[in-house]
Amino acid sequence: MCGNVSSGDLSVVGVCSLEDVLFPEIDVRLERVDFIAESLVVVAVACGPAPRCPGCRARARRVHSSYERGLAERPMAGRRVQVRLRVRRFFCDRSSCRRKTFVEQVSGLSERYRRSSIGLKRWLHAVAVELGGRPGERLCRKLSLDAGRSRLLELLESPPVPEGSPRVLGVDEFAFRKGRTYGTLLVDVEAGQVIDVLPDRTSETFANWLREHPGAEVICRDRASAYTRAVKEAAPHVLEVADRWHLLQNLAAAVDKTCHQHRACLRKRADEDSGRMPAAPPLMNLPLHEPPRTQIIERTRHRHADIHRLVAAGWTISAIARRLNLDRKTVRRFRDTDLDQLLVSARERRPAGVLEPFKPYLNTRFTEALGQVSGSRLSLEIRERGYRGSRQVVRKHLAALRAGNAEPVRADIPSPRKITGWIMRPRETLTDLQEERLLEVRLACPDITRACDLARAFTDLVRNRRGSFLLEWIRQAERDAPKPMSGFAGFLRQDLDAVTAGLTLTWSSGVVEGHVNRVKTLKRAMYGRASFTLLRTRILTQGE
């Protein structure tokens, strides 16, 4: 289907309104509009004043010639729009100018060497910023825009980095490949805007950036030592502020480690309480218990044997870690902990199954029947009591009882992570049952009680910005706290000024963490098929 609106018919359709829609405030005279298939072809003529020479900026006086150029425009009513624009070529009459002729550019519509209008370029640039190459190409196809991924990515240009650093600078790392390669994100905390991205997280790179961009007065950071060394080296006058969220995270890790180390206290108290229960089940003459041969149990046994063999041979912790591809803290824990305790910890890492609440009943029935009992019959009995699992699970438990490798039924104790959550959360958010369980934990272990008191006191310092009491808290923790808590206090003392500022001032790395999450989304969508330069460009353009 073809149609045509000639210049003589423009008065009928309202040429002024049509020009306002197609070329608002642009020096162009509309000639006609052709409807060809699913496209609109707009024929127009540039009619603005004589332009200036792009070389010498002299005003042109003589027209050399004219020609027609094609420009892709933004679609209208679901149709693609092609502009056939007639432009003039002018003489440059200044003898000193190297240009003899030049073509006029219509402000707001055309640019040199570009076959799309300025409005379409803005659209494509927005698509490239938000979606990148391949996703942007798919969206353009649905919007009737002619743009491939290469064309979209060519529109991306990194905005210039400010010559000076912002007054309040936030710095944090992000992973290109977690555990292997990292980059650094620099954010203007006051404006909430990313100002630069560094290709690594070394202290040398960050220190060089600080020297090239002076002016920072406050730097918000986490506890990373590389950034601390860079600030001490390149900007020693800057006030460092340790992030409060990371401080609470480190505190929670210390509390969790304390709870792990004292699970024996909780187990002993729980076993004593269960022994005093009036309705205790009858004793069972089961075969001698042997730990089940699960994958994690076997891995723990082999790792313990390998580490102790290398320790006996005189290897250092670092050498063992490199040889076995383990963390140094893991090697030290296996070296200093008994195998039985490691096995207990490995067994307790398994989640409780659906059969766990019914094991006392099954063990009692197994003992009463001297092992001569059917798994199908027992599954029916416990199903009447609320069991919702399969019959095969019951049969496996009975087989383990007969073989002697079933774990004994013991009183339930809360996991270290659960105890840590109760301690770190505000007291008013705990339920009555959680308060009761936490009280039982505190009564069972004095060290966990001390860790709980110190953790809640430090949390109060953080939430109420009472940095003036930090040094007194550190002294108390170093004097009589469990080892993980005293170690946390020692780390705070090493970074005392920054931590005190973090517990006193309003600045934090919260806005930086938000941008790190945005970077993760961008990275997962395109990094791996693109270079660091392109990733940096998208981070900076999206942060504008």
SS (H, E, C) 448-473: HHHHHHHHHHHHHHHHCCCHHHHHHH
- How far are the Cα atoms of 165, 209, 236, 412 from residue 198, in angstroms, in the given order? 14, 9, 21, 50
- Last residue of a domain, which of 115, 139, 154? 115
Same domain? For 252 and 221 the reply is no
**Whether the predicted pLDDT of 195 surpasses 80:** yes
486 falls within a domain: yes
pLDDT-based confidence at residue 204 (cuts at 50, 70, 90):
very high
268 falls within a domain: no
Same domain? For 390 and 299 the reply is yes
Angle at 247 between CA 243 and CA 251, to 5 degrees: 170
Distance CA 420, CA 430 (A): 12
Same domain? For 31 and 94 the reply is yes
CB 256 within 8 A of CB 420: yes
Same domain? For 250 and 307 the reply is no
Same domain? For 198 and 212 the reply is yes
What was the pLDDT predicted at 320? 92
Indicate the number of domains in the chain: 4
Question: CA 388, 391, 397, 402 torsion: positive or negative?
Answer: positive
CB 86 within 8 A of CB 65: no
126 falls within a domain: no
Please compute the mean of the pLDDT values over residues 449-474 and round it to a whole number: 92
What was the pLDDT predicted at 294? 67
Distance CA 483, CA 292 (A): 32
SS (H, E, C) 499-510: HHHHCCCCCCCH
18 falls within a domain: yes
Which residues, 6+ apart, have CB-to-CB distance to 531 below 8 Å? Answer: none
What was the pLDDT predicted at 4? 52
**Whether the predicted pLDDT of 336 surpasses 90:** no
Same domain? For 324 and 370 the reply is yes
Same domain? For 234 and 251 the reply is no
Same domain? For 327 and 340 the reply is yes
pLDDT-based confidence at residue 423 (cuts at 50, 70, 90):
very high
276 falls within a domain: no
More confident residue, 12 or 166: 166
Please compute the mean of the pLDDT values over residues 213-234 and round it to a whole number: 88
Model pLDDT for residues 127-177, shown as the tens digit of each residue: 888 887 788 888 888 888 888 878 888 888 777 888 888 999 999 998 888
Model pLDDT for residues 295-308, shown as the tens digit of each residue: 788 888 889 999 99
- Last residue of a domain, which of 403, 434, 461? 403
Distance CA 72, CA 75 (A): 9
Residue range of the domain that includes 231: 168-243+508-542
By mean pLDDT, which of 204-218, 247-261, 372-386 is the weakest? 372-386
Same domain? For 538 and 519 the reply is yes
Distance CA 300, CA 295 (A): 9
pLDDT-based confidence at residue 280 (cuts at 50, 70, 90):
very low
H/E element holding 66?
Answer: strand 63-76
More confident residue, 37 or 103: 103
CB 75 within 8 A of CB 145: yes
492 falls within a domain: yes
SS (H, E, C) 292-330: CCCHHHHHHHHHHHHHHHHHHCCCCHHHHHHHHCCCHHH
Joined tokens for residue 504: 């006193």
CATH classification of the domain holding 212: 3.30.420.10
What residues form DSSP beta bridges with 116?
72
* Secondary structure letter of residue 176 according to DSSP: E
pLDDT-based confidence at residue 449 (cuts at 50, 70, 90):
very high
Question: CA 248, 249, 255, 258 torsion: positive or negative?
Answer: negative
What was the pLDDT predicted at 406? 59
What was the pLDDT predicted at 48? 85
Please compute the mean of the pLDDT values over residues 95-115 and round it to a whole number: 87
Same domain? For 250 and 213 the reply is no
What was the pLDDT predicted at 279? 44
- How far are the Cα atoms of 402, 413, 427, 436 from residue 430, in angstroms, in the given order? 43, 18, 6, 10
**Whether the predicted pLDDT of 352 surpasses 70:** no
By mean pLDDT, which of 229-238, 354-363, 455-464, 475-484 is the weakest? 354-363
136 falls within a domain: no
Joined tokens for residue 505: 């001032």
3-state SS assignment for residue 181: strand
Same domain? For 465 and 535 the reply is no
Same domain? For 379 and 475 the reply is no
3-state SS assignment for residue 277: coil
322 falls within a domain: yes
More confident residue, 411 or 447: 447
Rounded (10°) CA dihedral 338, 339, 343, 349: 50
- What is the overall mean pLDDT for the chain? 82
pLDDT-based confidence at residue 210 (cuts at 50, 70, 90):
very high
Render 207-259 in DSSP notation, one character per residue: HHHHHHS---SEEEE-S-HHHHHHHHHH-TTSEEEE-HHHHHHHHHHHHHHHH
362 exposure class (CB count in 10 Å sphere: 0-12, 13-18, 19+) = buried
- Last residue of a domain, which of 46, 80, 115? 115
